[in-house]
Amino acid sequence: MAYTFDFASVLEYSDALLAGTVKTLALTAVGTVFGLGIGILGAVSRAWKLSPFDRIFAVYVELIRNTPFLVQLFFIFFGLPALGLQLNEWQAAILAMVINLGAYSTEIIRSGIEATPRGQIEAAESLAMTRSQVFRHVVLPPALLKVWPSICSQVVIVMLGSSVCSQIAAEELTFAANFIQSRNFRAFETYFVVTAMYFLLAIAVRQAMVQAGQRLIARRKK
């Protein structure tokens, strides 16, 4: 094997890699915030059987969890314009990620809510708390805390899955890798560098999520 490694040919494009990293993180951040928002709504609806939302969310969860992310993305980007809904690549990517994380986190958070002991809710009700107060102060924080490790993992999965958005010309990290590779033909070096970057990003995102969990949920629990 007489291959000469040339990592300089990848580092020439460090601007593109940096821009791609920023876009990947931005996609993940927006996707996480809104995805978890949908997840919480869906989890309550399903756990407490709030008709008709529980049925709507049940269909939504099954639909999204049983179809590939890439197909969902293509449907939004290439398909919806036929119905007059024209989303550019970033809107499509964010929408797909929010919808996707929303479905998975609905089920994750629901399991946390359902694990809340009945006595805890009854105790809160006997203190004349309203239903929404019970939910906000007694049910949700411990439920989120219980399932937070699963949510962290799911967010990392979604971040890694955002690489698929390169297919609709959203210029995130994988797009940058493919672009560089199509210009310098250095597949090994390019994908080696980008693999390492994803690895570090995943660790960083997981750490950030753990920190966020401790700050936002654990503190409010008091």
Partner 1 sequence: MNKRHFLRSLIATALLGTAGLSLHAHADALANAEKAGTIRIAVPQDFPPFGTVGPDLKPRGYDIDVANLIGRELKLKVEIIPVSSTNRIPYLTTGKADLVISSLGKNPDREKVIDFSVAYAPFFNGIFGPSDIAIKTAADTAGKTVGVTRGSVEDLEYSKIAPANATIKRFEDNNSTISAYLSGQVQLVATGNVVAAAVNERTKIRRLDTKFLIKNSPCYVGVNKGEAALLAKVNEVVGKLKKSGELNQVSQRWLQAPLPADL
Is residue 77 involved in binding partner 1 (CB under 8 A)? yes
Q: Are 103 and 60 in contact (CB under 8 A)?
A: yes
Question: How many other CB atoms are there within 10 angstroms of residue 68's CB atom?
Answer: 9
Residue 108 CA to residue 124 CA, distance in Å, equals 24
Contact partners, residue 203, CB within 8 Å, separation at least 6: none
Size of the residue set binding partner 1 (CB under 8 A): 18
Rounded to the nearest whole angstrom, what is the least distance from the CB of residue 114 to partner 1 in the complex? Answer: 41
Using rule CB under 8 A, residue 12 touches partner 1: no
Query: Could you give the angle at which helices 14-47 and 53-65 cross, rounded to 10 degrees?
Result: 140
Does 115 engage in binding with partner 1 (CB under 8 A)? no
**Residue 78 near partner 1 by CB under 8 A:** yes
Does 179 contact partner 1 by CB under 8 A?
Answer: yes
- Spell out, one character per residue from 153 to 172, where the chain touches partner 1: x when CB under 8 A holds, - when not: -------------xxxx---
89 binds partner 1 (CB under 8 A): yes
Choice from 72, 175, 189, 193 touching partner 1 (CB under 8 A): 175
Candidate segments 101-109, 124-132, 179-187, 200-208, binder of partner 1 by CB under 8 A: 179-187
Shorter beta-carbon distance to partner 1: residue 111 or 184 = 184
Stated as kind and residue range, the H or E segment containing 47 is helix 14-47
If one counts every other C-beta atom within 10 angstroms of the C-beta of residue 123, the result is 13
> In this structure, what is the dihedral angle of CA atoms 166, 169, 172, 173, given to the nearest 10 degrees?
50
List of residues contacting partner 1 (CB under 8 A):
77-79, 81-82, 86, 88-89, 166-169, 175, 178-179, 181-183
